[in-house]
Amino acid sequence: MSTTNPLLMPFTNKDQAVPFDKIKVEHYLPALDEAVQQAKARIEKIKHNSAAADFENTIVALEAASELADKISSIYSNLEVAHADEALQALAKEIYPKLTALSSDIALDQDIFQKVKAVYDKRKDLTLTKEQDRLLEKTYLSFTRNGALLNAQDKETLRQIDQELSVLGPKYSENVLKATNAFEMVLDKKEDVDGLPEGVLEGAAALAEAKGHKGKWLFNLQIPSYLPFMTYAKSRPLREKMWRAFSSRAFDDSFDNQQNVLKIVQLRDKRAKLLSFKTHADFVLAERMAQNPQTVTTFLNKLLDASKNAGKKDVAEVAAFAKKLDGLGEIMPWDFAFYSEKLKEEKYAFNEEDLRPYFQLEKVVDGVFAHAKKLYGLAFKENKDIPVYHPEVKAYEIFEEASGKYMGLFYTDFFPRETKKGGAWMTQFRGQGLIEGEMKRPHVSIVCNFTKPTPTKPSLLTYDEVRTLFHEFGHALHGMLSDCTYSSLSGPSVYWDFVELPSQIMENWVGEKEGLDLFASHYDTHQPMPADLIEKLKASQKFQAGYMSCRQLQFAKMDMAWHTTSPSEISDVDAFEEKVTAETRLFPKIAGANSSCSFSHIFAGGYSAGYYSYKWAEVLDADAFEYFKEKGLFNQEVAKKFKENILSRGGTEHPMDLYKRFRGREPDPNALLRRDGLI
């Protein structure tokens, strides 16, 4: 074993935190090669164990076989999306195929599978705990879902498909990032930036200066720059220019993803059929709460029935308002955010920007910590000695406040940069559970792309960014409060359509005075957010709910269409997208705009045939939050039930069993429509 490669040496920081300060690009491949050899040796040991296969010597041993490779993989894959220069990005096409080859080697090994099957077949006679039983079932399924029952020729085909897919996802993602970074709009005329709030202009001026355009304003396609421009810029031609650039990323440009999309869906379909599933969606949904595409389609159609007319009314109302205000003949997609915001101001007498001064990032972070303390008894303490991978990242130790018990590490990474992909996500550098023979606490991280501080102001968040922070922190709590034995079942390792419940429920507290009072105070005067502003915010919560719902349903239905249609029927990415979004579209299709080529969630993330899960989990979170509202937002009894039955149990039992134990019944499907004011 190498004595100089930090990835192969013992991690000596607090709780074996990752030594980001020591790891260099050239360390990954040699370390991974070593880790793969180690995993293979462990697999051989399991195979050649002469004792009869049992839960410990087969299932638990398999769980631990690739620990080192998993550790290296999680560090690399997290940095590849959060902080990757060209050199780190370039490693993707070597690293992911190596990891995929290792998992194929294990999944397609007939001798190992026979041992797993031997334990699985006698499971009725074993005295296993619920969690052990779930691990056994999950292990058996992971073999059958990865080709263990196939003949030799089909196994080889499957291996080739998985290799190809391991390169295509990162390539797709890289194209989206490059296309996003390729567009910049530099403005120097005052009339071009008319309408934009002072804080936004200051950020744009700082961005311009950093790029050598002193005295001008620079806008790009990263959300903290793009969204305010679309919402406040009076210049219609420039809004159109921004909208077209954003909506055509990686479509028909030098980073075109059309062939990648077609190839990915072909390979996924071929893989599903090889494993005896009708479509990729059938394959995915067999391991979800929804179980099959029919259930998902029925669910989405029910929501669409309730949302479509409301969405049409929302657009008509904004169109009428734009006509009255500016004599606009026809409203276009690049007009919607602008006039929608103006209409909201007129209806509720407040502007989204009025909220910003009350949402200083540091105070919002304190607020999210205060919620974790009031609900679940957690305390956070920054530790500057723990290495981080970028100067903007902070590391905290997590404790149980009452007992002082150490609960893990928490990293935050809040601002956009060219080495980071767009969006926001929670991830882990280490899951909770049995690792290297010891119970370990998790190392959780949240990564976002929020409004940066300017030379004269701290980072002041939009309301949407505040909700995003609470959302990702909800995922983080799922990791932090995990109390399972096996790491592959711990924290957010749950059915994909259940994973959004802990995150989405957290957003609810930010819509309530009791939640906002914990942290929303003016960055300058330190006065709390006025009660009347909170009332206006609450009143506006249902504004455009139909439009927003249709938008989410459009993505969900498009995802299902890509993964239930035979690829032989799809030759043109854009024509297919136009066809399958017809029923959810509230605006006519604009030539040159295409979502599929930058829909990273489903083509480069884990959401293929799973985008519906946001809506699915919204039903769960609306229903669960009604329970909190009934008993009190910080009611200790309800919080304890949520922590013990949902946050701490990971994927150790079926999600519906966990939910019913928390709520006392199945979720009420109308809870979401009630919350959105759609019924």
Is residue 446, in this structure, part of any structural domain at all? yes
449 lies in the same domain as 379 = yes
* Domains identified in the chain, total number: 4
**For residues 474 and 505, is the Cβ–Cβ distance under 8 A?**
yes
Task: For residue 640, name the pLDDT band (cuts at 50, 70, 90).
Answer: very high
**For residues 62 and 112, is the Cβ–Cβ distance under 8 A?**
yes
Please name the helix (run of DSSP H) or strand (run of DSSP E) that holds residue 344, with its range, or none. Answer: helix 333-348
Q: Tell me the pLDDT tens digit for each residue of 400-427.
A: 999 999 999 999 999 999 999 999 999 9
Chain CA centroid to CA 328, Å: 37
Is residue 90, in this structure, part of any structural domain at all? yes
User: CB within 8 A of 242, min separation 6: which ones?
Assistant: 185, 219, 221, 226, 229, 230, 233, 334
Residues β-bridged to residue 382:
396
Q: Tell me the pLDDT tens digit for each residue of 181-237.
A: 999 999 999 999 999 999 999 999 999 999 999 999 999 999 999 999 999 999 999
pLDDT value at residue 290:
95
Task: For residue 29, name the pLDDT band (cuts at 50, 70, 90).
Answer: very high
Q: Tell me the pLDDT tens digit for each residue of 513-539.
A: 999 999 999 999 999 999 999 999 999
Dump the DSSP string for 162-205.
HHHHHHHHHHHHHHHHHHHHH-EEEE--GGGGTT--HHHHHHHH
CA distance 198 to 338: 17
φ, ψ of residue 459 in degrees (nearest 5): -70, 115
CA-to-CA separations, 212 to 19, 129, 193, 206, in angstroms, rounded: 34, 63, 19, 10
Is residue 160, in this structure, part of any structural domain at all? no
Is residue 463, in this structure, part of any structural domain at all? yes
51 lies in the same domain as 73 = yes
192 lies in the same domain as 290 = no
- Residue identified by tokens 């276009």 is 332
- Residue identified by tokens 């067999």 is 286
pLDDT at 1 > cutoff 70: no
Alpha helices by DSSP H, listed for 420-544, are 463-480, 501-507, 513-516, 531-539
> Whole-model pTM?
0.95
Q: Tell me the pLDDT tens digit for each residue of 534-563.
A: 999 999 999 999 999 999 999 999 999 999
CA distance 586 to 579: 14
Residue 592 DSSP SS3: coil
CA-to-CA separations, 638 to 200, 625, 657, in angstroms, rounded: 41, 10, 17
pLDDT value at residue 381:
98
Is residue 2, in this structure, part of any structural domain at all? no
494 lies in the same domain as 393 = yes
285 lies in the same domain as 434 = no
- Token pair, residue 139, equals 């292990």
Burial environment of residue 554 by CB neighbours within 10 A (0 to 12, 13 to 18, 19 or more): buried
CA distance 302 to 305: 5
User: CB within 8 A of 119, min separation 6: which ones?
Assistant: 53, 54, 55, 58, 59, 126, 136
Is residue 103, in this structure, part of any structural domain at all? yes
3-state percent helix, strand, coil for the chain, nearest multiple of 5:
60, 5, 35
Find the length of the chain: 679
Range of the structural domain that residue 394 is part of: 357-543+614-675
**For residues 558 and 579, is the Cβ–Cβ distance under 8 A?**
no
Mean residue pLDDT of the chain comes to 97
Is residue 22, in this structure, part of any structural domain at all? no
Report the DSSP pairing between strands 433-435 and 394-400: unpaired
390: left (phi over 0), alpha (psi -120 to 50) or beta: beta
Q: What is the CATH number of the domain that holds 82?
A: 1.20.1050.40
Task: Please name the amino acid found at residue 651.
Answer: G
433: left (phi over 0), alpha (psi -120 to 50) or beta: left
Q: Which of 152-156, 438-442, 665-669 has the lowest mean pLDDT?
A: 665-669
> How many CB atoms within 10 Å of residue 129?
10
pLDDT value at residue 71:
98
Residues β-bridged to residue 522:
none
Mean pLDDT of 163-191: 96
Closest CA to 299 of 622, 543, 614, 585: 614
CA distance 553 to 612: 7
Residue 495 DSSP SS3: coil
> Percent of the chain having pLDDT more than 90?
98
Show which of 611, 637, 656 is a domain's final residue: 611
- Token pair, residue 336, equals 């919607």
Task: Please name the amino acid found at residue 169.
Answer: G
**For residues 64 and 91, is the Cβ–Cβ distance under 8 A?**
no
Task: For residue 241, name the pLDDT band (cuts at 50, 70, 90).
Answer: very high
Report the DSSP pairing between strands 443-447 and 406-413: parallel
458 lies in the same domain as 404 = yes
Residue 641 DSSP SS3: helix
> How many CB atoms within 10 Å of residue 232?
22
Q: What is the CATH number of the domain that holds 427?
A: 1.10.1370.40
189 lies in the same domain as 316 = no
CA distance 574 to 321: 32
Closest CA to 178 of 254, 282, 126, 232: 254
Task: For residue 507, name the pLDDT band (cuts at 50, 70, 90).
Answer: very high
CA distance 183 to 251: 13
Helix 613-631 × helix 545-564 angle, to 10° = 140
44 lies in the same domain as 64 = yes
**For residues 678 and 310, is the Cβ–Cβ distance under 8 A?**
yes
pLDDT value at residue 679:
84
CA distance 362 to 346: 31
Residue 15 DSSP SS3: helix
604 lies in the same domain as 620 = no
Query: Using only C-alpha atoms, what is the Rg of the chain?
Result: 25
Show which of 247, 280, 301 is a domain's final residue: 247
- Token pair, residue 83, equals 């902080």
366 lies in the same domain as 455 = yes
- Residue identified by tokens 């922590």 is 643
Is residue 442, in this structure, part of any structural domain at all? yes
503 lies in the same domain as 535 = yes
pLDDT at 37 > cutoff 90: yes
Task: Just list the catalytic residues.
Answer: 472
376 lies in the same domain as 387 = yes
- Residue identified by tokens 């293979």 is 40
645: left (phi over 0), alpha (psi -120 to 50) or beta: alpha
Show which of 588, 611, 634 is a domain's final residue: 611
